[in-house]
Structure formats: structure tokens, C-alpha cells
Amino acid sequence: MNLKQQRTVEAIHQQAESITEEAAALYCQQAPSMLGEAGGQKSLEQELQSHLTALVNAVLMDSGGLFEAHLTHARRQPPEPAHDQELTQQLTALKQVLAQRLPITEYIAAAGHLSAAFKELEQPMAVVTPAPPASSLHESPLKHLATSYLTYLLDGQRTEAINLLKTEVKRGTDVRLLYEHVFMPVQWELGSRWHKGEISVAQEHYCTAATELAMAMLQPYLQVAPSNGFSFVATTVSGDLHSVPVRMVSDFLEFDGWTPFFLGANTPTDGIWQAVVGFKVDLLVIGASMAHHVGILRQLISAKHATSGAERVFVMVGGEPFNTDPALWRSIGADAYAPNARAAVEAARNLMLSSRA
């Protein structure tokens, strides 16, 4: 982080509460019809605070992609032109307050990200919808199986959905192929339908919980290789409840001969390093599903050097923010990044080879 970035971040942090309050008041003056019903003021301040936090992280890590990822997520809540107008008004209010409160050099560092956001908001939502995974539901080599699995889940037939996959495994299909070409495209499809308002949050949660159960029930069918002598801890940062992607990475690494210590999701920083040191692992695998989790992840990695016994542990990261900005992992001090579970195995192997060089 250069001096300008540091000064900008510090200037915003010192005034964060008052910046948010002033921006909310300005928004209410400029767009009173958008404030909504009772309780709208508090909700507005929370939204503005989330924008400000994302902006600070983008400046801190010099990542336009990070703020873009935040904006893309915000635009889906809900994905309507009227909501885009609200976002534009909110960011405009923030920009005006920052222009008044920050020295010109620090303001320029922050304003660049906001200007890029305004350009994004001028584009139709369809343009900024994230691309599907390499194997989307409609392009999956196991399209028929994936579609049937999704249909069962949406009909509330969890047992039938899981039995469908167990039958496929007993026929000889590699469990990893089900992870890649059934679970991943189905999870992406569920997220896409939820963002479009085609399914409820309850349906999305039900289907995701069913997939987590399916993964647990299929795990014994993984043909694990002999131990390679390495071990890892896998989890997500505090506040990140999305465990499916990192669980997939954990299972793929175990298949490759690694000893796993999978902690699930939402693990506090102290707990993560306690596990890393306690289990004496070689690698920490950590996921971040949202842009605002990246700042927490950066703090987590920074704490490694102050944690006795963790100094030589490698850190590999993954998740949507890193897919959006492939250079972001270096900015937060990680040792490697992987866009998917299969790539994670290769990246982990390379880290171990580098440690022996």
C-alpha cells in the first residue's frame, strides 16, 4: 500500500460515521421519494456504510474489481432500473461528502472508483451479470443429471435428489465430476434464480443445505490417494456463511492425499490461527464469497506473522472477489489463488514444491 492509499484509507476511517450520516442526510434532501417507509433512514445508513467499506477496501488494495464486485452484488437487490437509480443517488451523495471532507489528493484516490461505478450503473443489468462457471447448468457434460437433481431440490425432494447422485456414483462416476458438473452449476443456477426473484431465499437455503448433505454422503465414495505427508485447514472468514466452495476444495485436496481439517464456515480469525497451529498444518485454505470479506481476509493474513507457529504456513485463497480481480490475492498477501477445486489441488502442490526448493 503506497502513502496516498494509506492516507486516503485513514482519512475515511477517521470520519466514517459522520461521512455516512452526512451522506444519508444529503440523499434524503436530493431524493426524498426514495427513502421509503419508517425505518428507511437506518437502512439507508447501513447501505451507505456498506458502500463506504467497499470503497475503503478497493482503495486499500488498489482494486477496481473489488468495488465492481460489491456494486454488482448491490445491483441484484433487487435487479431493477429503479434500484440502479437509488444506488446512483447514494454513491453521488457519498462522493459529494467525500469531496468536502477529504484533501484533494485523498479524494482523487477514492473518486476514481466511484466514477467507474457510475459508468457501470449506466449499463443494463444484463451486461454486468457475472458469467456462469466453465460448466454451467446448460453446458454441463452431466446436464441431464444436474437438471434432474435441481428439479428434485426445487420440488422439496431432498432424499430423491441425493439418491439420484448415489446411484450415479455406484455406476462408477467419479465423485469429483459430480462436484464440478452437478453441484457447482446447480449452485450457480440457484443463485442466479434467487437474484432474479424466481425463487425465494428459503428455497435457495433449502437447496444449498441439501447439497451440503449430499456432499457429506458422497464423501465416503471418494477414492482417497495415499497420504502425501501434507495437511491443511480449510474455512471461510468471519461473517462468510458460504461453505460449499471451500468444502469442495477440501474434498479435492483430501482425494489428492492431504490430511484435512475442515472447519466449516464463519470462523473467527483467532480460531483459524489456533487451528492452524494446533493441527500443525502446512496450508490454510480460505474462501471469501463477497467483496466486503476481503478486508477481513487481509487482516487474517496480516495476523499470520504475529502468530507463533504459523510463520511458514502457506495461505491459498479463492472466491468470487478473486475471480473478479485475479491480481487481488497478491494485494492481500496470500501465497496462491485458485478459481476452482481442481486448480486448488495444482496450486497447493506447487506451494509444497516451492517450499522444498
Domain membership of residue 137 (yes or no) is no
Query: What per-residue confidence (pLDDT) applies to 126?
Result: 53
Q: How far apart are CA 242 and CA 236, in angstroms?
A: 7
CATH of the domain at 189: 1.10.1240.10
Where a domain ends, among 93, 128, 163?
A: 128
How big is the CA angle at 291 (ends 37 and 231), to the nearest 5 degrees?
Answer: 135
Query: What per-residue confidence (pLDDT) applies to 127?
Result: 44
CB distance 174 to 251 below 8 Å = no
pTM for the predicted model, two decimal places: 0.78
SS3 of 19, please?
helix
Looking at the fold, whether 151 and 199 belong to one and the same domain comes out as yes
Domain with 34, as residue range(s), is 3-128
Provide the residue-wise pLDDT of the chain in tens; the chain has 357 residues: 577 788 888 889 899 999 999 999 999 888 766 555 544 667 888 889 989 988 988 888 888 888 888 888 788 766 667 788 889 999 999 999 999 999 998 899 899 999 988 988 888 765 444 445 555 787 889 999 999 999 999 999 999 999 999 999 999 999 999 999 999 999 989 988 887 789 999 999 999 999 999 999 998 898 888 999 999 999 999 889 889 999 999 999 999 999 999 999 999 989 999 999 999 999 999 999 888 888 889 999 999 988 999 999 999 999 988 988 888 999 899 999 999 999 999 999 999 998 876
CATH of the domain at 63: 1.10.490.20
Q: How far apart are CA 44 and CA 35, in angstroms?
A: 8
From the list 178, 175, 177, 247, the residue with the least C-alpha distance to 209 is: 247
Where a domain ends, among 78, 98, 128?
A: 128
Segments in 256-308 forming alpha helices (H): 269-279, 293-304
Looking at the fold, whether 237 and 343 belong to one and the same domain comes out as yes
CB distance 200 to 248 below 8 Å = no
Query: What per-residue confidence (pLDDT) applies to 262?
Result: 97
Please state the length of the chain.
Answer: 357
CB distance 93 to 24 below 8 Å = yes
SS3 of 196, please?
coil
CATH of the domain at 313: 3.40.50.280
Query: What per-residue confidence (pLDDT) applies to 54?
Result: 87
Looking at the fold, whether 118 and 60 belong to one and the same domain comes out as yes
Query: What per-residue confidence (pLDDT) applies to 125?
Result: 63
Query: What per-residue confidence (pLDDT) applies to 196?
Result: 78
Query: What per-residue confidence (pLDDT) applies to 128?
Result: 44
2: buried, middle or exposed (CB in 10 Å: 19+, 13-18, 0-12)? Answer: exposed
Looking at the fold, whether 346 and 257 belong to one and the same domain comes out as yes
- Identify the bridge partners of residue 259 per DSSP, sorted by sequence position: 231
Domain membership of residue 136 (yes or no) is no
The angle that helices 40-60 and 64-75 make with each other, rounded to 10 degrees, is: 160
Domain count, the chain: 3
Looking at the fold, whether 8 and 117 belong to one and the same domain comes out as yes
Where a domain ends, among 194, 221, 248?
A: 221
From the list 145, 216, 222, the residue with the least C-alpha distance to 176 is: 222
